[in-house]
C-alpha cells in the first residue's frame, strides 16, 4: 500500500484542517442566512423550517467541498496544513489530470466521512472513510522527499 510512500497525515493536522474548513463553511452559511434575512426572509422555528435550514446547509456544504476539491484539488483547511488527498495506489489527487476522478474521490471521502462520523483513526492513523474511499490525507511530501531533505541537512 502506498501509505508507505506517502505518509499519513497526523490526526492533529487533519483535525485542524477540518476545524478550519468548518469555520469557513459556517462563515459561508452565515452569509447565506444574512442574505436570506436581508431579502425579507423570516426565521421561525418549525419542523418545516428546520428541514429547510438543514437542506440549505447541506447544499452549501456540498458546494463548498465540491468546488474546492474539483477545481483546486484541496480545501482551504488542507491548503493551510499542506495536506493532499492520496489514493492507496499512490496517485496524488491534487496533481491528477482528471478533475472528474478527483471529484469522485472527494465525493466518496465526504460520503464515507459522514458514514463513519468523524476522524477517529486506527493504529495506522487511517479512519473508516480513508479505508472505504481507498484514499487518505498526506503531508505534501513523500518519504523520499523527507529523506533527501534530511540527508541534505546532515551534510
Please provide the distance, in angstroms rounded to a whole number, between the alpha carbons at the two ends of the chain. 32
Q: Which band of pLDDT confidence, cut at 50, 70 and 90, is reported for residue 3?
A: very low
Contacts of 121 (CB under 8 A, 6+ apart): 11, 127
Select from 53, 1, 52, 64 the least CA-distant residue to 28.
64
What phi and psi values does residue 123 have, to the nearest 5 degrees? -65, -25
**Inter-axis angle of helices 47-67 and 99-116, to 10 degrees?**
140
pTM over 0.85: no
More confident site: 20 or 4: 20
Amino acid at each position: 500500500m502506498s501509505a508507505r510512500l506517502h505518509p499519513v497525515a497526523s490526526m492533529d493536522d487533519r483535525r485542524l484542517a477540518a476545524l478550519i474548513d468548518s469555520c469557513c463553511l459556517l462563515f459561508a452559511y452565515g452569509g447565506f442566512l444574512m442574505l436570506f434575512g436581508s431579502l425579507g426572509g423570516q426565521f421561525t422555528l418549525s419542523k418545516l423550517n428546520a428541514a429547510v435550514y438543514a437542506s440549505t446547509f447541506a447544499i452549501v456544504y456540498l458546494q463548498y467541498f465540491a468546488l474546492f476539491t474539483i477545481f483546486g484539488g484541496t480545501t482551504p483547511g488542507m491548503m493551510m496544513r499542506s495536506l493532499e488527498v492520496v489514493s492507496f495506489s499512490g496517485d496524488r489527487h491534487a496533481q491528477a489530470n482528471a478533475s472528474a476522478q478527483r471529484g469522485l474521490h472527494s465525493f466518496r471521502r465526504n460520503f464515507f466521512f459522514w458514514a463513519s462520523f468523524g476522524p477517529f483513526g486506527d493504529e495506522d492513523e487511517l479512519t473508516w472513510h480513508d479505508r472505504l474511499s481507498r484514499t487518505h490525507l498526506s503531508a505534501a511530501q513523500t518519504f523520499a522527499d523527507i529523506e533527501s531533505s534530511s540527508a541534505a541537512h546532515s551534510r
